[in-house]
Chains A and B, each alone.
Chain A
Amino acid sequence: MSALTVAVQDSTTMLWREIKHSIRLLRLLIVSAILVPIVMLLLFDYILGGTIGRGLGDAARGAPYVDYLVAGIIVMTVAGGCGPTAINVTMDMTGGFIDRIRTMAISRGALLAGHVGVSVLRMLVATAAVTGVAFLVGFRPKASVADWFAVVGIVAAFSFALAWLSAAIGLVTKSVAGANGSTLPLSFLLPFLSSTFVPAQSMPAGVRWFAANQPFTAVVDSLRALLTGAPAGTTPYVALAWCAAIALVSYLWAQAAFRRGTR
């Protein structure tokens, strides 16, 4: 068997394992990956949406706040998948399992490939479910078929980037609690310090520059433009460039951490 065949076969096995894991933890994952973003959606739309919507002015383009909000909720849903991924990687690396597979003649990268692959799958499934609920509460996108393809592409790229980032975080943390804590900035802080809920321009001067130029804002803005039919300009390319950069750096970080952790 060629090295490539082995790598593909082993990665598929690890993917199978992670899918089994996700099925075993389904109830937990539904709460953390799907219900939490739905609660955020409902909170911001029903409770805060009236005031925020009026305050948005031109940024809402005359549509209800929910149409503005959904792009942000999608990004929060993807980011919410970081915690479980980091935790799963940490659990594998700190238990006896990693030692067992390292004494077997299997592809070195398969374990991480499995984690990242299933992480992306989970993020996409959760995003689809949350977007479905958004339709039920009045989300009416104006995206064309081509726009929808672009939306799916950007969400997939963003998921891929964050999956590698959380895998790397999971590799460098020593405990499950640490892994969860280390992903909180990703799943909670960065979305709020971006255009997820309100435009970056409306923020205080201290954070405005950061919020306007950080990757989450590029992703949210491009999704929002595509979904609401606004001119997207170059924002989708900026978003994809950010995703590529995060994925590459995280991948290299993860590889280095994996080598260090298994020496």
Chain B
Amino acid sequence: MDTLTHHATQTAVSVMGLRKTYGEKVVLDGVDLTIAEGEVFALLGPNGAGKTTIVRILSTLIQADAGTATVMGYDLRAEAGAVRRVIGVTGQFSAVDDLLTGDENLLLMGRLLHLPPTVRRARAAELLRRFDLVEVARQTPATYSGGMRRRLDIAMTLMGQPRLIFLDEPTTGLDPRSRQIMWQLIRDQVAAGVTILLTTQYLEEADQLANRIAVLDHGRVVAEGTPEDLKRRMPGAHIRLRFADIASLDKAARELNQGTRDEQNLVLRIPNDGGIRSLRDVLARLGDDVAVEDLSIHTPDLDDVFFAVTSSASKENS
């Protein structure tokens, strides 16, 4: 077992030039990724961008056509068995056994992980408690809500205390409350030092959970960085001023001498980083005599980033 621990590295996942095609369709077109240990890394992208394919390759389910990857220091191709011992995977489709109770599902994982009976019973009881499934532990998942089923799914993944967890769209289809609960459970894992690679279509989810985000489109990473990096890279932060009439709009535009006019809506958009100081500056220059009907501050969110990078990428492709 010594060799297992000696493989420990600072890099959880390292991927270079990953390619995968199905027939004519290029699913992954040279993906590079580096994920540090203890990090939450989000793969963000629309359906068909290649997120799930990356997870399936890194979790040893399918082989890439080209490229190299190491997972927790093990070569994905040569040491798939060692990789499987340190990862936990919760796929997009429910992987709970519908004919076993919640408790039995966890114990099944314990048996397959070759845990001694006392250990697997203790872990199962602990996970049922933490995941708020104690009351339904003796029922089959047929009686569960979507959120409970998803929680059981992730609890099963955690039975092996993996050091790296793959979560493929962990909250897709969940109601807002279940999503919040799921986010908290993921944060708890991060606090325990687990590395997480999650895929999501929800920008808010990536923003909430991830240290770093790779935006994926048409099988390529089109942007990568911290959520703040990505937002900063985005032009478009502005103050939006709406006026009562065209005269006020004209006057403001003259006084500020910047911004873009939208005469139809009587709106002036002034580039601005959203800080208090620059906001005060703009208001001071406007003076008291211009009637401003409405003021709002727009900072780019990940949606802006997402649409900016994915649309430019698809332009390149066509």
Within 8 A of A (CB), among B84-101: 84-85, 87-89, 91-97, 99-100
Within 8 A of B (CB), among A28-78: none
Q: Is A4 an interface residue, CB under 8 A from the partner? A: no
Q: Is B140 an interface residue, CB under 8 A from the partner? A: yes
Q: Is B104 touching A20 in the complex (CB atoms < 8 A)?
A: yes
Q: Is B91 touching A104 in the complex (CB atoms < 8 A)?
A: no
Q: Is A13 touching B91 in the complex (CB atoms < 8 A)?
A: no
* Partner-binding segment picked from B23-31, B57-65, B207-215: B57-65
Residue ID in chain A nearest B86 by CB atoms = A105
Task: Tell me the smallest distance from the CB of A215 to a CB of chain B, in Å.
Answer: 32
Q: Is B91 touching A99 in the complex (CB atoms < 8 A)?
A: yes
Task: Report Cα–Cα, A9/B91, bound state, in Å.
Answer: 25
Q: Is B95 touching A20 in the complex (CB atoms < 8 A)?
A: no
Q: Is B99 touching A21 in the complex (CB atoms < 8 A)?
A: yes
Q: Is B156 an interface residue, CB under 8 A from the partner? A: yes
Q: Is B251 an interface residue, CB under 8 A from the partner? A: no
Q: Is A20 touching B59 in the complex (CB atoms < 8 A)?
A: no
* Partner-binding segment picked from B110-118, B123-131, B198-206, B262-270: B110-118
Q: Is A136 an interface residue, CB under 8 A from the partner? A: no
Q: For residue B61, which residues in chain A have a CB less than 8 angstroms away from its CB?
A: 99, 102-103, 262
Task: Report Cα–Cα, A115/B113, bound state, in Å.
Answer: 19
Specify which of A95, A96, A104, A262 is in contact with B113 (CB 8 Å cutoff): A104
Within 8 A of B (CB), among A78-108: 95-97, 99-106
Q: For residue B60, which residues in chain A have a CB less than 8 angstroms away from its CB?
A: 102-103
Task: Decide if the interface of chain A is mainly helix, strand, loop or mixed.
Answer: helix
Using a Cβ–Cβ cut-off of 8 Å, how many residues does chain A contribute to the interface with B?
24
Q: Is B93 touching A104 in the complex (CB atoms < 8 A)?
A: no
Q: Is A205 an interface residue, CB under 8 A from the partner? A: no
**A103-B87 contact, Cβ under 8 Å, with A9-B114, A16-B111, A17-B108:** yes
Q: Is B94 touching A103 in the complex (CB atoms < 8 A)?
A: no
Q: How many A-B residue pairs have CB under 8 A?
A: 65
Residue ID in chain B nearest A97 by CB atoms = B95
Task: Report Cα–Cα, A97/B89, bound state, in Å.
Answer: 11
Q: Is B81 an interface residue, CB under 8 A from the partner? A: yes
Q: For residue A21, which residues in chain B have a CB less than 8 angstroms away from its CB?
A: 99-100
Q: Is B95 touching A17 in the complex (CB atoms < 8 A)?
A: no
Task: Report Cα–Cα, A13/B111, bound state, in Å.
Answer: 6
Q: Is A207 an interface residue, CB under 8 A from the partner? A: no
Q: For residue B156, which residues in chain A have a CB less than 8 angstroms away from its CB?
A: 100
**A99-B104 contact, Cβ under 8 Å, with A13-B112, A104-B112:** no
Task: Report Cα–Cα, A101/B95, bound state, in Å.
Answer: 9
Q: Is A177 an interface residue, CB under 8 A from the partner? A: no
Within 8 A of A (CB), among B197-243: none
Task: Tell me the smallest distance from the CB of B165 to a CB of chain A, in Å.
Answer: 11
Task: Report Cα–Cα, A97/B97, bound state, in Å.
Answer: 7
Q: Is B112 touching A103 in the complex (CB atoms < 8 A)?
A: no
Q: Is B108 touching A13 in the complex (CB atoms < 8 A)?
A: yes
**A105-B85 contact, Cβ under 8 Å, with A6-B114, A10-B112, A16-B111:** yes
Query: Contact string, B171-215, partner A, CB cutoff 8 A, digits 1/0?
Result: 000000000000000000000000000000000000000000000
Task: Report Cα–Cα, A20/B92, bound state, in Å.
Answer: 26
Residue ID in chain A nearest B87 by CB atoms = A103
Q: For residue B88, which residues in chain A have a CB less than 8 angstroms away from its CB?
A: 103
Q: For residue B50, which residues in chain A have a CB less than 8 angstroms away from its CB?
A: none
Specify which of A1, A9, A24, A105 is in contact with B140 (CB 8 Å cutoff): A24
Q: Is A106 touching B140 in the complex (CB atoms < 8 A)?
A: no
Specify which of B94, B104, B108 is in contact with A95 (CB 8 Å cutoff): B94
Task: Tell me the smallest distance from the CB of A3 to a CB of chain B, in Å.
Answer: 10
Q: For residue A104, which residues in chain B have a CB less than 8 angstroms away from its CB?
A: 84, 112-113, 160
Q: Is A263 an interface residue, CB under 8 A from the partner? A: yes
Q: Is B97 touching A103 in the complex (CB atoms < 8 A)?
A: no
Q: Is B59 touching A103 in the complex (CB atoms < 8 A)?
A: yes
Q: For residue A103, which residues in chain B have a CB less than 8 angstroms away from its CB?
A: 59-61, 84, 87-89
Specify which of B89, B100, B112, B157 is in contact with A20 (CB 8 Å cutoff): B100
23 contacts between A and B (CB under 8 A): A9-B111, A13-B108, A13-B112, A16-B111, A17-B100, A21-B100, A24-B99, A24-B100, A24-B140, A95-B94, A96-B96, A99-B61, A99-B91, A100-B91, A100-B156, A100-B157, A102-B61, A103-B60, A104-B112, A104-B113, A104-B160, A105-B85, A263-B63
Residues of B at the A interface (CB closer than 8 Å) are: 59-63, 81, 84-85, 87-89, 91-97, 99-100, 104, 108, 111-114, 140, 156-157, 160
Q: Which 6 A-B pairs have the closest CB atoms?
A: A96-B95, A96-B93, A100-B95, A13-B111, A105-B84, A103-B89
